[in-house]
Amino acid sequence: MKSIFKTLLLIALLSSCGNKSNNKTTHYIGAYRIMDQMVPYPYIVKQNSDSLYLFNNSGLLIDRTEGERIEKNKTIEFKEKHFNVLNRKKDNFYAFDLLDTLNFRPFKNGAPNPKNSVKFVQIQSDFDIDIRLLKNDFKNTIWEYNVVEDENSNPNKDLEIKQTIKVKEDSLYVLTDYYYQGIKTVSEFETKSYNLFKIDSICFLSFQKEENNPQTIFQIVEHRPGKIDLRDFSSSEIKDISYYKSSFKEDDYVNSISNANKYSNCFDGYQGEYYFGDDVTFNKGNQFLIDYVSKNAPITEDKSGYIIVQFTINCNGDVGHFGLIQMDRDFKKMSFQKEIIKHILSKVSTLNDFPSSYSQIEWLDYKDIHAFLMFKLHNGKIVDLCP
């Protein structure tokens, strides 16, 4: 009798454990699509024991399907997205949207191309964040943080990049300042809409531009007054970012915006390279650039070498998103005086006579392009320029 009782008890316990496991809710955040371009994919998938839910970048439930689970080689059929699961691991999965052949380009035979799939990463929350307090703090604070660069950032060795966020009604300013040896060289700003939302116990922050310019969804991992910790899954390495309450005064911030260049990428997912497609070199030629940048340039030292200004040209011909690399004549790292660096960056930031950067290549879509100007200096004076 005891043996039978023990057996029944064991079966009951195992059944209970199985039910708990099946009832577990798992959340996956869209990281990026296209492995070598890393275009943000702003969707969230939630899996229950018997249902899958699909949320957009505003936290709105846009679809639900029953009797489905995330398994390799299976297709999850939402109304407008059919995710064919190509690879399934413990904490992520890759999927290919069979209904979206524009953004998920298959092989020529129509089969899903793993390179063009989307990566979903499993997430969880260690803190139950009060979304009301978070929203109130976010709206009433000017936030600053140091930019964490990744694969989509322009090459940069010598600039410190700081961004500051100020909310205004239903949108916000993002002010980007570029510092060299402690001094501000150039500034730019853009405006975005934003969404702060919560799904179950997990909070998220997303930005919003035009519908065809997808923006990253950040997971908010912790909030304390004057500090927000976020997690960014949109590159190959997961990035942790912290927003801190800025010492910026309201009037000073408004003044900084008025003195900054307005710049925004037309597509934030991927920038082409200057050597692709049509020639995007400056319309007026290199000699004009040398003369323009050299005018009133300070000569404070007799060093010789190269100052390479990296930047992005958007679809309107504007420049922004700067990086800086300096080398001596033997192509080894060196540093020039801050006066000449500030002068060159300020001059380059005003250039606006570049041709359209829209891709003309069928297999490589982009709207913005990465470019650089490599200034050659001899005894402190600009003497040549390439490319």
Q: Do 188 and 262 touch, CB atoms closer than 8 A?
A: yes
241 and 167 within one domain: yes
Work out the average pLDDT over 113-136: 95
- Report the alpha-carbon distance of residue 349 to residue 262 in Å, rounded: 10
For 5-62, the pLDDT digits (tens) are 444 444 444 444 433 434 588 999 999 999 989 999 999 999 998 899 999 999 999 9
- Report the alpha-carbon distance of residue 165 to residue 141 in Å, rounded: 9
Q: Do 98 and 75 touch, CB atoms closer than 8 A?
A: yes
Q: How many CA atoms lie within 13 A of 50 on its CB side?
A: 2
DSSP state, residue 344: H
- Report the alpha-carbon distance of residue 381 to residue 260 in Å, rounded: 27
Where among 96, 123, 150 does a domain terminate? 123
How many structural domains is the chain composed of?
3
| Domain of 323, in residue numbers | 271-386
Sequential DSSP letters for 38-84? -EE---EEEE-SSEEEEE-TTS-EEEEEES----TT-EEE-SS-EEE
- Which residues lie below 8 Å from residue 141, measured CB to CB, with a gap of 6+? 226, 245, 246
258 and 143 within one domain: yes
For 182-223, the pLDDT digits (tens) are 999 999 999 999 999 999 999 999 999 988 899 999 999 999
- Report the alpha-carbon distance of residue 312 to residue 306 in Å, rounded: 19
Q: What is the CA radius of gyration of the chain?
A: 25
Where among 94, 123, 152 does a domain terminate? 123
Answer yes or no: is pLDDT of 116 > 90: yes
CATH classification of the domain holding 174: 2.40.128
- Report the alpha-carbon distance of residue 86 to residue 82 in Å, rounded: 12
pTM: 0.88
- Report the alpha-carbon distance of residue 8 to residue 14 in Å, rounded: 10
Residue 15: how many other CB atoms lie within 10 Å: 10
Phi, psi of 252 (to 5 degrees): -65, -35
Q: Answer whether residue 14 is part of any domain.
A: no
Where among 89, 123, 157 does a domain terminate? 123
